[in-house]
A and B are shown apart, each in its own frame.
Chain A
């Protein structure tokens, strides 16, 4: 009986350690060059959901809209759901979607605004070091460039719910890891610590990001 209790004790300690490890910060796709410098550096793996969409006027990515005729803005819809499961060191996402359109003239490809469509969302982790009041998530996966059909590009986003309304408060940023044919390196990031709410996310000029602690 004593041995059984001892065995059960070891098993409990092991399970506890495993649980603690799964919740510890761990690297996923977090970049070391050109990534966040001040926020989105410490993560936990836990159940979460982030939904909504909106508009960013990047550059500069502040709460003020650019002149409408300038076409300097981006619009998007995005959601991600995760159960908080760690697989091979990655906090995996259950599912997610991203539709991203960059309306800048210099980003046109094949005669149309740059249009990115996520084909798989593979990871999602809660960022616990931001100023986003309701929740922040670093997530990503793979996407297709709709303009050209280029497939399999990896992407990551920095996603921030900083209260209501979303315009002027919430934030979003995206980076495509591999070059986009015809454009090269692509990112919409605001690496400025003074820009609320959490670097590198840019401030929404319209729409809303909504964090759901569980799902």
Chain B
């Protein structure tokens, strides 16, 4: 009888931990991020706190050196860990965006990621007035790649499945540099940094 009571007590004590372990909701987003050898900057950013709630940050103007300028940037993260009813939603929205002195421009960027148990999507994401290297691109399909001669390449509407979730990067520029051989010939390229505009991540595990 004593053993049964003790086992019950152990189960009761373990219950909150087991619930906590299931359906853990995570959400985060940011407006602009630049990572190079000399620059490591991200703004604005929002991360869902462990107890769940709503977090939003805002920046009217974002300037990261000569890499990016953006206006009206909002980052939001929300959701709750609640077993089978857990949910996580994050979004990043921006108005006008200018990357690498006009190489890429856009007006109206929305990255949105949403997760529940067994279900994640990027519905609600969009790119307005996108122009890449002088070419207008209307509503690019997920993971559209555009080469940028002398710079690297861009992934547009990048959607990356993650464990129990998804990451959405609406504009992702990979900065590359040629690798030269002994005689000055180009033998390859190497990545020297990247620029992300409009990123949202969500997951439930």
- List which A102-143 residues lie within 8 A (CB) of chain B: 103, 111-113, 115, 117
Residue B89, interface by CB 8 Å: yes
Q: Are A210 and B116 in contact (CB-based, < 8 A)? A: yes
- Chain B neighbourhood of A55, CB < 8 A: 91, 110, 112, 124
Main secondary structure of the interface of B (DSSP, over half): strand
- Asked whether A75 and B93 contact (CB < 8 A) given A55-B110, A70-B128, the answer is yes
> In the assembly, what is the distance between CA of A71 and CA of B114, in Å?
21
- Chain A neighbourhood of B52, CB < 8 A: 51, 79
- Chain B neighbourhood of A115, CB < 8 A: 58, 74
- Chain B neighbourhood of A65, CB < 8 A: 124, 126
Count of B interface residues, CB-CB < 8 Å: 38
> In the assembly, what is the distance between CA of A73 and CA of B123, in Å?
14
Contact bitstring A165-198, B, C-beta under 8 A = 1, else 0:
1111000000000000000000000000000000
> In the assembly, what is the distance between CA of A206 and CA of B86, in Å?
17
User: Which size class do A's interface residues fall under?
Assistant: 35 or more
- Asked whether A167 and B78 contact (CB < 8 A) given A206-B114, A212-B85, the answer is no
Q: Are A165 and B121 in contact (CB-based, < 8 A)? A: yes
Residue A49, interface by CB 8 Å: yes
- Chain A neighbourhood of B76, CB < 8 A: 53, 75-77, 99
- List which A43-98 residues lie within 8 A (CB) of chain B: 49, 51-55, 65, 67-71, 73, 75-79, 97-98
> In the assembly, what is the distance between CA of A208 and CA of B80, in Å?
12
Tally inter-chain residue pairs, CB-CB below 8 A: 141
Residue B42, interface by CB 8 Å: no
Q: Are A51 and B80 in contact (CB-based, < 8 A)? A: yes
Other A-B contacts than A49-B82, A70-B108, A167-B121, 5 sampled, CB-CB below 8 A, are A69-B108, A97-B54, A103-B72, A166-B89, A211-B85
29 sampled A-B residue pairs with Cβ under 8 A: A51-B80, A51-B82, A52-B78, A55-B91, A55-B124, A65-B126, A68-B126, A68-B128, A68-B129, A69-B107, A71-B95, A75-B74, A75-B124, A76-B76, A77-B89, A78-B54, A99-B76, A103-B108, A112-B60, A112-B72, A113-B72, A113-B95, A115-B74, A167-B123, A206-B112, A206-B124, A207-B112, A210-B87, A211-B85
